[in-house]
Every structure is written in C-alpha cells, then in structure tokens.
Amino acid sequence: MIRKLLSFFLCVLLLSGLPLTVFAEESVPAVIDQAELLTAQEEMELEETALSLSGTYEMDIVILTVDTLNGALAASFADDYYDQNGYSEDGILFLLAMEEREWYISTCGNAIYAFTDYGLDRLGELVVPYLSEGDYYGGFSVYLEELNVYFEEYRRGFPIDRYLDSYSPEHREDVVYYEPKSQVTIRSVLPISLLIGFIAALATVLIMAYSMNTKRKQHSAVDYLKQGSYHLRTQRDLFLYSNVTKVRRQENNNHGGGSSVHRSSGGRSHGGRGGGF
Amino acid sequence: MPVTNQTHVIEYKCPCCNAGLAFDGDTQQLTCEYCDNTFDIETVRAYNESTAQESTEEVKWDDVSHQEWNQEEQAHMRAFQCPSCGGEILTDETTAATFCPYCGNPTIMPGRLSGGLKPDAVLPFKTSKEDAKAAFLKLCKGKPLLPKLFTQEQQLEKITGIYVPFWLYDCSGDLDGSYKATRVHHWSDSRYHYTKTDHFLLRRAADAVFTGIPMDGSSKMEDTFMESIEPYDYGELVDFDTAYLSGFFADKYDVPSEAGEERIRQRVGSSLDDLVQSSFLGYATVVPTSRQLKIKQGKARYVLLPVWMLNTRYQDKLYTFAMNGQTGKMTGAFPICPKRTAIWFAGIFAGVTALCSLLQMLIL
C-alpha cells in the first residue's frame, strides 16, 4: 500500500515536471515596431534589453506599436496579440496604438502578480509623459528599466503594491493576490519534517509505553459520590478590573492591493492597464 | 515458642464425602471438587454446626513445635493444626484463610476474623481462576511493545484468590476556595487587534457526601494496585460468613483505618475540585488562591473484597497483576521490549518524516 502510494506520488512529481521540458521553445520577437516609431538601432537595443530581462526573470517582454487598432479595444487587441503569437505563459506586453493615441499594458501568468493595479498605474504615469512628447525610445527605455525593478521585487516575494486599505480602484471585477511561492526542495522541508517525525514517534511510543502499566492510583473518589449530595453553597463571581492591550495589525496583502484580472477572447486570464497619451 | 492459644481452625466439610469445600464465584455456592456436589452456604453452615461440637472440641492445641524460634519469627508466625490431616499450618499473623500445605484443603482461622476483628461484610468472588487467566491472556493482546517471549513462554506461576481487608470510608467533604479567574475578549478594527482581559475573584463553597471509598487495610497489598482495580459494586456485599472464604486466601487487616485518612482526604479533595470546576463557566483561566478542605463524619467499615493476584515470571523478574474479583478489571505493569520500542520509534519517525516531506513538496 505504502509502496503504491509512493510510486503514485513519484509519478505525479515527474508528470508535473514534464511540460517545462517539452515546451522549451525558440524565441519570438520582443519588439514589434509596426508603426515605425523607432530607428533600427533603437529597436535592436530595446530588443536586446528586453531579451536579457526575459532570460533573467523567465517572463516574455513584448513591445508592440501599431498604426491602428481597427476598431478593437486596446485591451482585447493587446491580450489577443500576446495569446496568439506564441509567447510563453508568463509575460507582459506594451501596446502603443498611434491612430487612437492609446497605450495598454497587458500582463499574463505570473506577470499578473508582478504588476498589481497599483504597479501598473505607477508604470503608466512614468512612461506616458515620454510618449506624449513623442520620445518613444525614451519611454520604452524607461519602461524596460522599470520592469527590471518590478521583476526584482516580485522575485524577492514583495511585488510592488499599495498596502493600504484606503486604496481601492473603482472598477474591479476579479482581483488576484500574489502569494509568495517558496522554493520547495527536499533540503528545505527536511528539517521541519524530521522534527514532526521525531515528535510523532516520541509521542506514540510514550503513549504506548504508558499504556503498558495500568497499575495507577485513582485520581479522585467521584465513583463514591452519594447521588444528589453535591451542593454548591457559595458561588460568587466578583469582577475586579480589566485591562486592554492592542497590537498593530499585520499589514495584509489581501487588503486593497492586488491585481485585477479579466479574460481575453482566448479565455486566458490577463491583467492590464491602459490610457491615452 | 509459637504458641497458639487462639481458637480453632474451620474447614467446611462436604456433607457427602467429607472433603474440603471451596467457594465458587461463578455459582456463588460451595463446591466439592472430589464428589462434584454443590451446596448452599446455609446448608453447609448448618451441617458443619451440627458436627462442630465434636470435631472442634476434639482439637487439642499442643505445643506443636519443639524447635527454637527466633523472636521475630515468633512474633509473626502462628501455627495451626489442619483439621483434615493434622498437619501443621504455619501462617503469618494476618492470615485468616489459607490452604493446608500438606493436604491442600482450604482452611480458615475464624479467630482472626471474629469479635472486634469481624468484618462488617464480605463481597464474594464473582469470577473464577479461569476467568482471571483468560483476562490476563486477553490483556496481553494488542500490546506492540510487549516482548514476544513474554506471551510465548507464558507461564502463569501462581493465581491466587485473596479476600483483601478493606476499609470503606463514609464521609462528607467540605471545600471552601477562592480563585483568580480571567475572561478574555478579542476584537479588531482596521489598525489594531485588541485583547481585553477581565479579572475576577471567585468564591466557591461546596460540600458532598461520599460513601464507601475503599482503602486496603493490608500492608501486604500495594495501595496503588488496590486502587487501580476499583471500583467495586457494593450492592453485592453480604453479611460476613467464613464460608465465603473457603478455597481462597484471606487476610485480616493490619493497617488501622486511621492510616488511610490522608489518602481519603486527597481523593475527596480532588473530587470536590473537579465538581467545583464545572461551575467555572466562560473563564479562560482559573487559578486557585486559597483552598480549605474539611472532612466530616468520617466512618470506616471493615469489609473483605475479592482480588485475584497473578504472578508471572519473565527473564527472572516477577510481574504481578491484580484483578477485581467482582468486576474482572485487571491491572498491572507489563515489561517493555527495548528492541520493539526502538523499531516502532524508528518506523514512525521515518514514515512520518517521509510523508511530511512529500506533503510539503506537493502542497507548497
């Protein structure tokens, strides 16, 4: 039985590791300048920075400029483009639509957690002034630089977010919160497992050993209480005083912050934020 | 000189074949193992009384032994003559019923249990030697730490039915106590978690009546052992009659009733503590600050209660078990096998550790 269970667990472990190895893919372009806003040199530099970031943080980073959205919503256009062009599960796409003068950042997979609503707002505020002035290369450079910071904080387990209960954007249908994923290895779980195992074994053996000796004194004489003879003559509860202590609440991730998500036409979850410039 | 100027020795003779009779816990009658007859206690007593005139008066106590006894032996040993075979039965000074070492007939020394020493009541055995043996074998089952050889080479050396002298204390206890108690509330607002602790002073006074708290009156019996096989159902107590002792060992008390009072006080005290405890409703902590316990109307009855003692030997060590002769409750200390303990420990340790690691890897 135990052997069967073990082999089952092993199978599950192996299978869960499979997709990573199977779907290792060749890289897709990071900077797609359909609106021709960048020089070839600029495009190459941005592409290089984006790819190196992708490599470091295992997230796809896409910058897309288009002439027109052809009537589509910026959000759906960005989501669909990301979904339909072979990018990985985790990634972030910056869409710039020239005709509509709109920008949109779409996040997917783990990038949703790395870029909270608050984080995206801040990112937008930082980049938009450059775009408004027509400094597209400057905007994208700042954007990529900033991504580095966001990813780094996320990797540390503290995605940039506003941890204040007062912060609550008006329209939020579905909110997800980042929960730190610890690196679980056999080495990290072994000490606590050993401790639990030791305590369990000790407790069991002690209980077993204790039950080997039933030669014990009686605790009380309650077996010999004459029925109905117990009489509680005095029962007085006198209130003396009270004191109050207060402890500051733990700042809670699940309060106010987080990332709003929606579904793209392809059915995938995306986070995102956009606006005009 | 081990002189016995005490009275006579009783042996209940079978009206049919004149062999010694023994009390049987299953049938609650005297049985003869030779002719297989069973007799009511009343019948046998009447029969024995009618024949007693001759038989008991014929017994002449002479100085049985011509050996020199040392002082200590003299002080503790008594000699009786077996009415069946005339053999000399040596007993210590508390023995009230025993067996003749020569002919094996059950023998009773009524002098030990008469007059002021006469028990108020006796609780006859309800279980037999076989019951005791079966109970012991059952108790050995399902004990993973028990050495394998303990059960395999099981040789119950001795199973002895003993009427143990007990004091049954009737008393009332009165507890007057003060306690410090706290009640805790928790609540939170957006910024703080609050904890409010209310402090109280509690006064409690309670009394209760206890009847028949037993305390063994034999120094030979370990008090812990005798407490561990409690309780007895006193509803089955009967007026004392030596006939019930036939076929068992019996002792007279050698510990006065006063000696058990401290222990009774403890037990009544903890009982009242437990009872009063139930009136502490809704408190997070209750700490006693003062406690006064009075025991009133102490009265002790002297009864004989049935106990089976089982002796077994394992690796040259004697292990003793006791069984309540009425309810069949058996207690005792088993030996613990170090090897099995180690195996169990290692097994659980390894198993739980592995399972924990796996679960953590899967869940986290």
* Mean per-residue pLDDT, B313-322: 86
Question: Taking CB atoms and an 8 Å limit, are B348 and A200 in contact across chains?
Answer: yes
A70: closest CA of chain B, how far (Å):
45
Model pLDDT, residue A17: 42
Q: Which of A253-257, B166-170, B301-305 has the lowest mean pLDDT?
A: A253-257
Residue in chain A closest to B362 (alpha carbons) equals A13
* 3-class secondary structure, B269: helix
Beta strands B106-108 and B95-99 are antiparallel
Indicate whether B75 and B188 sit together in one domain: no
B96: closest CA of chain A, how far (Å):
26
Question: How many contacts (CB atoms, under 8 Å) link A and B?
Answer: 216
The yes-or-no verdict on residue B249 having pLDDT over 70 is yes
Indicate whether B199 and B287 sit together in one domain: yes
Average predicted confidence (pLDDT) for chain B: 82
Indicate whether B114 and B139 sit together in one domain: no
Beta-ladder partners of A269: A263
* 3-class secondary structure, A188: helix
The yes-or-no verdict on residue B252 having pLDDT over 70 is yes
This prediction has a pTM of 0.61
Indicate whether B163 and B82 sit together in one domain: no
Instruction: List, for residues A49-83, the tens digit of each pLDDT value.
Output: 998 988 888 888 999 999 988 888 888 899 999 98
Asked if residue B333 lies in contact with residue A212, where contact means CB atoms within 8 angstroms, the answer is yes
Instruction: From B118, B150, B184, give the residue that closes a domain.
Output: B118
HSE toward the beta carbon, residue B332, CA cutoff 13 A: 25
Indicate whether B231 and B248 sit together in one domain: yes
Question: Taking CB atoms and an 8 Å limit, are B200 and A247 in contact across chains?
Answer: no
What domains lie within chain A, and their CATH numbers? 26-180+263-276 (3.10.310.50)
Question: Taking CB atoms and an 8 Å limit, are A194 and B333 in contact across chains?
Answer: no
The yes-or-no verdict on residue B340 having pLDDT over 70 is yes
Residue B28 covered by a domain:
yes
Residues of chain B contacting A184 with CB distance shorter than 8 Å = 360-361, 364
Question: Taking CB atoms and an 8 Å limit, are B356 and A192 in contact across chains?
Answer: yes
Question: Taking CB atoms and an 8 Å limit, are A230 and B208 in contact across chains?
Answer: yes
Residue B6 covered by a domain:
no
Tell me, yes or no, if B264 comes closer than 8 A to chain A by beta carbon. Answer: yes
Identity of the residue in A12, A184, A217 whose CB atom sits nearest the CB atom of B227: A217
Q: Which of A172-176, B30-34, B127-131, B185-189 has the lowest mean pLDDT?
A: A172-176
Residue B278 covered by a domain:
yes
Instruction: List, for residues A2-44, the tens digit of each pLDDT value.
Output: 455 455 454 444 444 444 443 444 567 889 988 888 898 999 9
Asked if residue B284 lies in contact with residue B178, where contact means CB atoms within 8 angstroms, the answer is no
Asked if residue A245 lies in contact with residue B193, where contact means CB atoms within 8 angstroms, the answer is no
Indicate whether B300 and B163 sit together in one domain: yes
Report residue B132 as tokens: 């005791």
**Alpha-carbon dihedral sign for residues A118, A119, A120, A124:** positive
Tell me, yes or no, if B328 comes closer than 8 A to chain A by beta carbon. Answer: no
The yes-or-no verdict on residue A207 having pLDDT over 90 is yes
Model pLDDT, residue A25: 45
The yes-or-no verdict on residue A151 having pLDDT over 80 is yes
Distance separating alpha carbons of residues A220 and B279, to the nearest angstrom: 18
Model pLDDT, residue B17: 75
Residues of chain B contacting A233 with CB distance shorter than 8 Å = 205-207
The yes-or-no verdict on residue B269 having pLDDT over 50 is yes
Residue B307 covered by a domain:
yes
Residue in chain B closest to A5 (alpha carbons) equals B355
Question: Taking CB atoms and an 8 Å limit, are B360 and A193 in contact across chains?
Answer: yes
- Dihedral angle computed from the Cα positions of residues B22, B28, B29 and B31, in that order, rounded to the nearest 10 degrees: -40
Model pLDDT, residue B247: 83
**pLDDT band, residue B228 (cuts 50/70/90):** very high
The residues in B 107-126 lying below 8 A from A, measured between CB atoms, are none
Indicate whether B28 and B171 sit together in one domain: no
C-beta neighbour count of B185 within 10 angstroms? 12
To test the contact with chain A by mutation, choose from B352, B359, B363, B364 the residue with the greatest count of A C-beta atoms within 10 A, namely B352
Residue B7 covered by a domain:
no
Total count of domains within chain B: 3
Which value does ipTM take for this structure?
0.73
Tell me, yes or no, if B287 comes closer than 8 A to chain A by beta carbon. Answer: no
Residue B243 covered by a domain:
yes
Q: Which of A156-160, B191-195, B220-224 has the lowest mean pLDDT?
A: A156-160
Instruction: List, for residues A110-133, the tens digit of each pLDDT value.
Output: 888 888 888 888 888 888 899 888
Model pLDDT, residue B53: 52
B25: closest CA of chain A, how far (Å):
24
Beta strands A175-176 and A269-276 are unpaired
Question: Taking CB atoms and an 8 Å limit, are A218 and B267 in contact across chains?
Answer: yes
A172: closest CA of chain B, how far (Å):
21
φ, ψ of residue B29 to 5 degrees: the values are -135, 165
Question: Taking CB atoms and an 8 Å limit, are B356 and A197 in contact across chains?
Answer: yes
**pLDDT band, residue B254 (cuts 50/70/90):** confident
Indicate whether B54 and B76 sit together in one domain: yes
Instruction: List, for residues A88-116, the tens digit of each pLDDT value.
Output: 888 999 999 998 899 999 998 888 888 88
Question: Taking CB atoms and an 8 Å limit, are B336 and A212 in contact across chains?
Answer: yes
Residues of chain A contacting B333 with CB distance shorter than 8 Å = 212-215
Nearest 5°: the CA angle B218, B224, B230 is 90
Indicate whether B322 and B342 sit together in one domain: no
Tell me, yes or no, if B233 comes closer than 8 A to chain A by beta carbon. Answer: no
Indicate whether B292 and B345 sit together in one domain: no
Report residue B320 as tokens: 């003793």
Question: Taking CB atoms and an 8 Å limit, are B145 and A209 in contact across chains?
Answer: yes
Question: Taking CB atoms and an 8 Å limit, are B199 and A242 in contact across chains?
Answer: yes
Indicate whether B165 and B278 sit together in one domain: yes
Distance separating alpha carbons of residues A199 and B356, to the nearest angstrom: 12
Tell me, yes or no, if B182 comes closer than 8 A to chain A by beta carbon. Answer: no
The yes-or-no verdict on residue B301 having pLDDT over 80 is yes
Distance separating alpha carbons of residues A51 and A28, to the nearest angstrom: 10
Residue B1 covered by a domain:
no
The yes-or-no verdict on residue B81 having pLDDT over 50 is yes
Instruction: List, for residues A252-268, the tens digit of each pLDDT value.
Output: 444 457 778 888 888 88
For residue B314, CA distances in Å to A52, B146, B156 come to: 76, 11, 10
Indicate whether B134 and B193 sit together in one domain: yes
Residue B252 covered by a domain:
yes
Instruction: List, for residues A165-197, the tens digit of each pLDDT value.
Output: 444 455 455 666 666 555 666 777 788 889 999
**Residue B276 belongs to domain spanning:** 129-333
